[in-house]
Amino acid sequence: MTTTSPLEAVKRFQDHPDRFDLIITDMTMPSMTGVELAKRVMDIRPDIPIILCTGHSELIDEQRAKSLGIREFLTKPIFIQDLALIVRHVLDENRDPISEVRGARETGIDESCSDNAGLQGQSIRIGGALRSPRGKGLSACPFR
C-alpha cells in the first residue's frame, strides 16, 4: 500500500492501529507536518514508536521531538545502515520477547536477517511514513 497523503496514513492507522510496529515519517509533507502526524497517531495509540526525519527545520529539534514522545530524531542525509540500526533499536525497545517467540512459532515467521537489506515481511510507505503491519516481521539489521 502506498499513498502520498498523510491524512490517508492517519486513516489507515486509525482503522487498524494494532497492526503497526513503527512509523518513520518526514517532517515536511503535504497537508501536515511529521509532528502533526505523530501527535495524531499517538492520540490513537500512545505506545507507537515514531522516528522523525528532517533535512532542516526551525519548527523542531531533537529535544522537542523527544519531549513529544517521538522516539528518534534523524537529520538528513540518512544512511541506510544507520537507519537500519536505529529501526532495530527502536523496535527492540518495544518488544515482548516471549510473545515474539510464541508468535514466530505459531506463524512460522523467520526472525533472522535475510539478504533483502535486512527487511522482511510487508512494509507500507504512506505520506513519508514507512510502516510495518504488526506481526509481519519487520527486521532491520546490519548489512552483511
**What pLDDT digit, counting tens, does each position of 54-110 carry?**
998 888 999 999 999 999 999 999 999 999 999 999 999 877 655 555 555 555 544
With a pLDDT cut of 90, the percent of the chain lying above it is: 56
Q: Cell digits for 29?
A: 509533507
* pTM for this model (two decimals): 0.68
pLDDT reading at 10 higher than 90: yes
d(CA 26, CA 56): 11
Of residues 20 and 144, the one with the higher pLDDT is 20
Query: Can you tell me the distance from the alpha carbon of 72 to that of 28, in angstroms, rounded to the nearest whole number?
Result: 16
Block residue for cell numbers 511514513: 129
Q: What domains can be seen in the chain, in order of their start residue?
A: 2-133 (3.40.50.2300)
